[in-house]
Structure 1
Amino acid sequence: MLIHVNASFDHIITCFRALFAINSLKSYTICKHLQIRRNKMFDRNILTKIGLAIVLVTSPVLQAVPVAAQVTETSVESLPNQHFIIDVSELEQTDIGKIVIDASAIGGQAALEIPLELKRISLSAPDCVDAGTYVLPVTATNTDGEIVETLDYPVTIKALANDGESHRDWDEEIIYFLLTDRFYDGNSDNNNPYDLDYAGADNPRGVYQGGDFAGITEKLAYLSDLGITTIWISPIVANIQYDVSAGSQDGAFYGYHGYWAQNFEELNPHFGTLEEFHTLIDQAASYDMNIMVDVVLNHTGYGLHPLDGARENSPAGYPTDEDRAVFEDMLRLETGRDALTESLSGLPDFITEDPAVREQIVAWQTAWLDLATTPNGNSIASFRVDTAIHVDPVTLQHFRNELTTINPDFKLIAEAWGADPINHKNFLNSGKMDSVLDFKFKETARNFINGNLVGANETLIKRNETLESNATAGQFLSSHDETGFLYMLNNHLGKYKLAVALQLTAKGQPVIYYGEELGQTGANNWPVYDNRYELAWEETETENHDIFNHYQTLLDFRHNYSEILAKGNRQLITGSNEDGYILVERAFQDEAVYLLFSNREEAFEIELAVTEADAIAFNHYNGEQFQADGKRLIIPATLLEEGGTALLTLDRGQFSVE
Structure 2
Amino acid sequence: MLPIHHHHHQNSNPIKKGKVNNIGKSSAEWRSRSIYQIITDRFSPSESGSGKSCPLLYTYCGGTFQGITSHLNYVKSLGFNAIWISPIVLNLPGGYHGYWAQDWFAVNPHFGTQADLINLVKTAHSMDIWVMVDVVFNHVGPVGFDFSEISPFNSSTHYHPYCQINNWSNQTEVEYCRLADLPDLDQSNNFVYKTLSNWITDFVLNTFGFDGIRIDTVPEISKTFWSDLKTNILAPKYGDIYSIGEVLNGDMNYVAPYANILGATLHYPMYFVLKSIFSQGGSMYQIRNTINSARSLVKDTSLLGVFIDNHDNPRFLNYESDYKLYQNALTYVLTSEGIPIFYYGTEQGFNGGADPFNREPLWPTSFNQNSYLFTFVQKIMNFRNTHFQEFLNNPLQVERYVANNFYAFSRGNVFVATTNVGSSYGRLQYTITYHPYSDGTVLCDIFWGNNDCETVTNGQFTVVLLNGESKIYYPQQ
Relative to the length of structure 2, the TM-score reads: 0.82
1:185–1:211: 8 Å Cα contact kept in structure 2?
A: yes
Aligned AA (2:87): P
Stretch of structure 1 that moved more, 284-293 or 459-468: 459-468
Output the CA distance in 1 between the equivalents of 2:203 and 2:302: 24
Aligned AA (2:274): A
Deviations 1:375-403 (A, max 9, x none): xxxx1111111112112333323322222
| Aligned with residue 343 of structure 2, among 487, 497, 513 | 513
Largest Rg, 1 or 2: 1
Aligned AA (1:534): P
The structure where helix makes up a greater share of residues is: 2
Deviations 1:472-502 (A, max 9, x none): 311121222221222121x221111111111
| Aligned with residue 169 of structure 1, among 4, 16, 29 | 29
Output the CA distance in 2 between the equivalents of 1:582 and 1:343: 41
SS in 2 for 1:389: coil
1:615–1:631: 8 Å Cα contact kept in structure 2?
A: no
Output the CA distance in 1 between the equivalents of 2:180 and 2:66: 32
Partner of 2:374: 548
Q: How does 1:112-511 map to 2 (within 5 A)?
A: 169-187=29-47, 204-241=56-93, 254-303=94-143, 307-308=145-146, 321=148, 323=150, 326-328=153-155, 329-335=157-163, 337=165, 338-369=173-204, 371-373=206-208, 379-400=209-230, 401-418=232-249, 423-430=254-261, 433-449=262-278, 450=281, 452-464=283-295, 472-489=303-320, 491-511=321-341
1:234–1:294: 8 Å Cα contact kept in structure 2?
A: yes
Aligned AA (1:650): P
Q: How does 1:94-105 map to 2 (within 5 A)?
A: none
Distance verdict in 2 for CA 1:492–1:516, change over 3 Å: same
Output the CA distance in 1 between the equivalents of 2:347 and 2:439: 39
Distance verdict in 2 for CA 1:464–1:620, change over 3 Å: farther
Deviations 1:519-549 (A, max 9, x none): 1121115xxx211110155264353x22112
Distance verdict in 2 for CA 1:298–1:256, change over 3 Å: same
Partner of 1:649: 474
Aligned AA (1:434): G
Stretch of structure 1 that moved more, 343-352 or 475-484: 475-484
Q: For residue 447 of structure 1, report the CA deviation from its aligned partner.
A: 3.5
Q: For residue 211 of structure 1, report the CA deviation from its aligned partner.
A: 0.3
Distance verdict in 2 for CA 1:569–1:512, change over 3 Å: closer
Identity over aligned residues, as a percent?
A: 24
Aligned AA (1:360): T
Output the CA distance in 1 between the equivalents of 2:47 and 2:202: 26
Gaps of 5+ in 1: 1-78, 86-123, 127-167, 189-198, 242-253, 310-320, 374-378, 653-658
Q: For residue 561 of structure 1, report the CA deviation from its aligned partner.
A: 3.9
2:18–2:237: 8 Å Cα contact kept in structure 1?
A: no
Aligned AA (1:348): P
Aligned: 1:533 with 2:360: yes
Output the CA distance in 2 between the equivalents of 1:427 and 1:440: 13
Output the CA distance in 2 between the equivalents of 1:347 and 1:170: 32
Relative to the length of structure 1, the TM-score reads: 0.60
2:348–2:365: 8 Å Cα contact kept in structure 1?
A: no
Aligned AA (1:180): T
SS in 1 for 2:174: coil
Distance verdict in 2 for CA 1:442–1:470, change over 3 Å: closer
Q: For residue 262 of structure 1, report the CA deviation from its aligned partner.
A: 0.7
Partner of 2:6: none
Q: Which has the higher contact order (CA 8 A, sep 6+)?
A: 2
What's the Cα RMSD here?
A: 3.3
Distance verdict in 2 for CA 1:302–1:407, change over 3 Å: same
Distance verdict in 2 for CA 1:363–1:456, change over 3 Å: same
The count of corresponding residues between Structure 1 and Structure 2 is 437
Q: For residue 463 of structure 1, report the CA deviation from its aligned partner.
A: 3.3
Stretch of structure 1 that moved more, 472-481 or 553-562: 553-562
Partner of 1:165: none
Distance verdict in 2 for CA 1:356–1:604, change over 3 Å: closer
SS in 1 for 2:200: helix
Output the CA distance in 2 between the equivalents of 1:326 and 1:583: 51
Aligned AA (2:449): G
1:187–1:215: 8 Å Cα contact kept in structure 2?
A: yes
Aligned: 1:618 with 2:444: yes
SS in 2 for 1:424: helix
Output the CA distance in 1 between the equivalents of 2:16 and 2:313: 33
Partner of 1:559: 385
Gaps of 5+ in 2: 1-12, 20-24, 166-172
Distance verdict in 2 for CA 1:272–1:617, change over 3 Å: same
Partner of 1:602: 426
